[in-house]
Chain A
Amino acid sequence: MSALKLSTDQIHLIESSPDEKIFLEGIAGVGKTTAGVERLLFLLAQGIPADSILLLTPQRTLAKPYIDALLIPGVSAGGQVSVVTMGGLARRMIDLFWPVIGGQVGFSHPDSPPIFLTLESAQYYMAQVTAPLLQQGLFESLVIDHNRLYSQIIDNLNKAAVVGFPHAEIAERLKNAWNGEPGQMHIYDDAQECANRFRTFCLEHNLLDFSLQMEIFTRHLWNLTQCREYLIRSYQHLLADNIEEDTPIVHDILRQWIPQFRSSLLIFDLDGGYRRFLGADPQSAYSLKELCSTQFEFQDSYISTQPVTALENSLSTILKPQETAIKTLNPSIERYHPKTALVHGYFRFYPEMLDWVAKQVKQLIQDGMPPGEIVILAPYLSDALRFSILQRLDNLNIPCVSHRPSRSLREEPVTQCLLTLAYLAHPQWGKSFQVTKFDMAYALMQAIAGMDLIRAQLLAGIVFHNRQGNLQLTSFSIINPKMQERITLRLGEKYESLRIWLETYQQEPPQELDHFISRLFGEVLSQPGFGFHSNIKSGEITANLIESIQKFRWAAGEYLSETGKSIGMEYLEMVRQGVIAAQYLRSWQPESEDAVLVAPAHTFLMYNRPVEIQFWLDIGSRGWFERLYQPLTHPYVLSRRWLVGKPWTDAEETATNQETLYKLVKGLLRRCRQKIYLGLSVLGEQGYEQQGALLTTFHKLFQQWQSEGEN
């Protein structure tokens, strides 16, 4: 066992017999995961083979404390603990047992390998299936970005799979709950039509999106003797953390599986359920308690200091007076004034508030606070806000990291440079895209080291020709010598190398787009004198672009070859439409160990790690409590908790919003040790005055404090 100071309850749980079935519950910050990690190490120290242990979390980030603990040299030699999500396990089992199951499920080509879709590639295929229907007038009454429309139809399919109802019932359930204009109900039928067609398309082309993976695993593979026996034989011990964030179908599987395990530890966060919009169902998770012979409840927080707990109590009283009133507050907490846990800055304009945040972070770090102990949170983190805050921190040399990069892959100048050059190198792609002199100048600026905007524009203005869509680069040598001197011979020489390389490439049969970019990067752009040489960031972005194209090629190559379309051209088209490379999750992104985290509040909760300091931005935003506008789907109606046929009314909406805000505020405060910094501005990010419920709550709190002071 590690050198951590553990409570008696924790030790009791950790050292329980390796045959025990345990249910552990408690609020955030009471040491549940710590006990889970120590239980895992205890089992290993007892000689339990590591490869007989299954560690299950609803998402990978929640397994981090366990993974970190397993990587330390002190863990004894042996096999490897399987750290999985149920989605990951489903995918792995489908891949292994596909030759047995593929035909039974109804795929048209069971003798060909399955193609697993990412969110991006699922969206691509959804676009292929849905676009012709849109042209026929489906969703005519709905004003919504097409990509959001595709993602909501995919979301509906996923909900059906993880809640456990047939996907053909999606529209019926949504229509039954619809409480608005009856004329609008047809959009659910339209969404159903798209979902049905997408599913048929997937079965015809061996494509497996997340929903199909989950359905195949839960309805077919789990009931296949070979697969179930393989799983039961492989794993004798289960550790499942944050089960409240998992979906009912996962709980159904666990209900059947737990009796087969030699030991199990299920960990339940009493305040959790933050992933409801992804199908999380705390109620069905809690029902697993009855399968466990030993039950623990931890109560004492190891995280929050008394002032933060006092602040939590004060805010809870305002947000949910009826519930807090019946709880007896700890008298020792009442001695601490919540004011000491709160700092706020109040400004008229939003950028002023962001400046203040950056300055405060700088000051905290100067005073000795490790950057990794600071998080900056907002309900939603728009690209603009993320960019603004990261840039300010960067300017102050503060190490910072966001849950995703500050710019989407397709917006990166490096990506735009590579795709412009790719387009130039492939005249056979036709005239579908516009490449302007400006695009060319920006590409040259990226491609050639030392090329500034003025020279790039001069050069592009002379050598780049777009003759009715036929793009051409002419030689530097035929430029007027005076102009050559102005651009400089050194830059001209590099331009000439690039031009000749592209020209030579065009004389050979075209290659796959990812191969083309890899070669362009290695043979030209990363060579000395070019823009990507020794430029780590460029290498990283190029690697991610290549990976994105490669995944697209592997997922769509066969389908595109049937249709006769070029993969490279189709990729470019999808990038242009924002279907691909907009939200690309990058695999080449080294983890920053000690950096300020900038993230949406819900994302931070799913990291499940406490910090010393939290900054809350945009507290006037309605995003702290309101659901995203998603006209085609509904997380509550499509849940197992909703009575099919019952209409969703404003009363439900209000109650849900209130509950969401209450849980979110508590969840954040229970992951904060020292202080909350509030960034307040009269005008929000969009320039409008905001009056969201969280802001109102704080106003009430300040008023209370003011009247206490007056008294």
Chain B
Amino acid sequence: MRLPKGFQFSQGSLQDFFDCRRRFFLRYIQQLAWPAVESEPMLENERFTQQGINFHKMIHQHLIGVPADRLSSFAFKDDLENWWQNYLDLYNRLEFAKQTAIYPEITLSSPMGNHRLIAAFDLIFRQRDNTFVIYDWKTNRRRPPRVWLERRLQTRVYPFLLAKAGGFMMDGKPIPPEQIRMVYWFANFPLEPEIFNYDEKTYHADQKYLAHLVETIEHAAEDNFHLTDDARMCQFCVYRSLCERGIQAGIASDEESMENDIITLDDTFLDFDQIAEIPF
């Protein structure tokens, strides 16, 4: 199947393929706009997502030098106030600023098959001992179990891409996988981060796995993009009416909505260059 010109794989698109091939086909190959409700309640979810975006932006602002006291006045409502305080505690504890180098909101990419694999990182920092830590800020309401995170493509793609494409952070030398650690930090559960250490063996396994996944997609015929067998997922997919898999969207707080509960901002974070230019 021919992917659109300039298509780049991301953990989000690979996760879509993994979850439901049909969804991948509709979203990325057909680029089909299907503006049904993803999950209910809409307004609350929109506010929650917006808070997540604001939280990410505030950390970015802080890490590039905007004083915390100036930012704190923006964290005055709902969950954001708590999240921000939890982040400041983490910041003071870990002292990111004293690391050798910090890279907030950085995007890395690498060739993969006939395309490129891309990932937008919330934060990468290099420590004095030349180890690298990836931080991913999670604002989800419930703390997902380790086993669930382990299965996410993000857990494979991020450390893999840092090892593969992060050489420029290591003075042009490749970063040994053993020197990479990925941390999911939960704004609602600040003392329960989930840490994944990386190593050479996992790196090679991930390379093989991701290359195979990409090759499968690149060579799949249209009828190989079949619907998921797990119809519960369709409650949280906008294409449910097109696939004739239900009418109403699921409730975000239901047990099945774990996938939907994770706000992965590499797909939703505001990229100003993606916003229609003001044609002045």
Contact = CB atoms under 8 A, between A and B. Distances in A.
Given A113-B54, A518-B42, A539-B33, A118 B116 contact: no
A623 interface: no
Contacts of A79: 106-109, 165, 168
Interface in A575-611: 585, 587-588, 590-591, 593
A96 interface: yes
Nearest to A544: B33
B114 interface: yes
A139 interface: no
Interface string B16-30: 000000000000001
B168 A543 contact: no
Interface string A533-562: 110100110111010000000000000000
B31 A518 contact: no
B156 to A, nearest CB: 16
B36 A73 contact: no
A542 B32 CA distance: 12
Contacts of A60: 273, 277
Given A68-B6, A522-B36, A593-B5, A511 B43 contact: yes
B109 A97 contact: no
A512 B43 contact: yes
A88 B277 contact: yes
Contact of A77 (B4, B164, B241, B249): B164
B280 interface: yes
A87 B36 contact: no
Interface in A503-536: 511-512, 515, 517-519, 521-523, 526-528, 533-534, 536
Contact of A111 (B30, B74, B114, B270): B74
Interface stretch (B63-71, B88-96, B198-206, B256-264): B63-71
Nearest to B69: A99
Given A78-B165, A80-B109, A528-B244, A518 B64 contact: no
How big is chain B's contact interface, by range? 35 or more
A119 to B, nearest CB: 5
A34 interface: no
Contacts of A543: 33-35
Given A95-B272, A543-B33, A590-B4, A80 B107 contact: yes
B181 interface: no
A118 B278 CA distance: 6
A158 interface: yes
Contact of A587 (B5, B8, B172, B276): B276
Q: Which of B71, B172, B242: most chain A Cβ within 10 A?
A: B242
Interface in B96-132: 106-116, 118
A518 B272 contact: no
B167 A78 contact: yes
Given A73-B115, A158-B280, A95 B42 contact: no
A119 B278 contact: yes
Interface string A111-122: 111000011001
Contact of A588 (B33, B71, B116, B172): B33
A71 B6 contact: yes
A522 B272 contact: no
A226 interface: yes
Interface string B60-81: 1100111100110110000000
B57 interface: yes
B38 to A, nearest CB: 9
A226 B36 contact: no
Contact of B64 (A84, A96, A512): A96
Contact of B36 (A100, A111, A521): A521
Contacts of A91: 272
Given A74-B111, A96-B61, A99-B74, A534 B242 contact: yes
Interface in A155-203: 155, 158, 162
A200 B42 CA distance: 35
A110 to B, nearest CB: 9
B64 A230 contact: yes
Interface in B196-244: 238, 240-242, 244
A51 interface: yes
Given A78-B167, A533-B242, A118 B276 contact: yes
Contacts of A590: 4, 31
A88 B73 contact: no
A522 B241 contact: yes
Given A77-B109, A78-B168, A88 B276 contact: no
B37 interface: yes
B279 interface: yes
B273 A78 contact: no
Given A526-B241, A527-B241, A534-B242, A511 B272 contact: no
B33 A87 contact: no
Contact of A99 (B42, B71, B276, B277): B71
A354 interface: no
Interface in A15-56: 47, 49-51
Contact of A78 (B71, B109, B241): B109
A67 interface: yes
B149 interface: no
Contacts of A348: none
Given A78-B109, A527-B247, A518 B36 contact: yes
Contacts of A546: 35
A76 B111 CA distance: 7
A522 B37 contact: yes
Nearest to A541: B33
Nearest to B54: A113
A527 B245 CA distance: 10
A473 B107 CA distance: 53
Nearest to B270: A95
B116 A99 contact: no
Contacts of B274: 587
B154 interface: no
B86 interface: no
B169 to A, nearest CB: 8
B15 interface: no
A512 B37 CA distance: 13
B66 A226 contact: yes
A210 B279 CA distance: 10
B114 A73 contact: yes
A97 B5 contact: no
A591 B276 contact: no
A528 B242 CA distance: 8
Given A96-B64, A100-B70, A542-B35, A88 B280 contact: no
Interface in A81-97: 83-85, 87-88, 91-92, 95-97
Nearest to B164: A77
B164 A83 contact: no
Nearest to A234: B64
B108 A77 contact: yes
20 contacts: A67-B6, A77-B164, A91-B272, A92-B272, A95-B57, A99-B61, A99-B70, A118-B278, A119-B278, A158-B280, A226-B65, A230-B64, A512-B43, A518-B37, A519-B42, A522-B238, A528-B241, A542-B35, A590-B31, A593-B5
Given A523-B37, A544-B33, A590-B4, 12 more contacts: A77-B167, A79-B106, A96-B60, A99-B73, A100-B67, A118-B276, A118-B278, A158-B280, A522-B36, A522-B241, A542-B35, A546-B35
> Which are the 6 A-B pairs with shortest beta-carbon distances?
A522-B36, A77-B110, A543-B33, A77-B165, A73-B111, A588-B33
